[in-house]
Amino acid sequence: MKRFFLIPPTVLSQPKTSSTRFRFRWLAESVASHTTRAAEKLRAQACTAAAITVSIRSNPFKPQDPQYQRSITMPLAEPSSDTRALIGAALEGLKRIYRPGFAYQKAGVLLSGLEPRRRQQGSLLADDATEARSAALMHTMDRINARWGRGTLKPLATGLQQDWRMRRERLSPAWTTNWNELPVVLAR
């Protein structure tokens, strides 16, 4: 009897940012941050990815500005859920598609070629000790971030200031999805 495993075909992380970015460093921090979040989702599903697609685009609602939109898919040497390997491939892809002189509005990553970690094909060239250390490191990072809040531990490639991140000062309350934001009514 055959068993079928339902696996989401891709993992996407592509939130909109608060401002346009001209510098490569800002785009690189944004791509690294999105890759970190996508890798967390990937590990939560106990999967690995065989490829990562990086996409960037300028603001299509400003036709007076020069327009640019590109994406590139970077295959990984080995399917992985290691944030460091995924960020390395994503930044290499970004270097290939980045063009100076454009006001970039959006950057995102898409993980594809997903397969369950337990069904992953082994490699003759892989070092089992290195893979075990990598898995332990990612597990430890995920546990610390789960306990102390997302972003407590993060790769330096994601940046320290993150000026490119979406503004949240006027964010609507999430009453239906967050217990801490429920309105409190006091009765006398």
For residue 90, the one-letter residue type is: A
CATH of the domain at 94: 3.30.1490.100
- 69-80 and 104-112 beta bridge pairing: unpaired
3-state secondary structure of 94: helix
- 11-13 and 69-80 beta bridge pairing: unpaired
Chain-wide mean pLDDT for the chain?
84
In a domain, 137, yes or no: yes
Lowest mean pLDDT among 10-19, 133-142, 153-162, 175-184: 10-19
Residues 6+ apart with CB under 8 A from 41: 11, 13
Is the model's pLDDT at 17 over the cut of 60? no
3-state secondary structure of 174: coil
In a domain, 156, yes or no: no
Instruction: Please give, one letter per residue, the 3-state secondary structure of 31-86.
Output: HHHHHHHHHHHHHHCCEEEEEEEEEEEECCCCCCCCCCEEEEEEEEEEEECCHHHH
In a domain, 171, yes or no: no
In a domain, 186, yes or no: no
In a domain, 164, yes or no: no
Number of domains in the chain: 1
User: What are the tens digits of pLDDT across the range 72-116?
Assistant: 999 999 899 999 999 999 999 999 999 998 888 889 999 999 999
**Burial level of 24, CB count in 10 A (0-12/13-18/19+)?**
middle
Structural domain including 79 reads 1-118+128-145
Length of the chain: 188
DSSP run (H or E) holding 107: strand 104-112
In a domain, 160, yes or no: no
Is the model's pLDDT at 38 over the cut of 80? yes
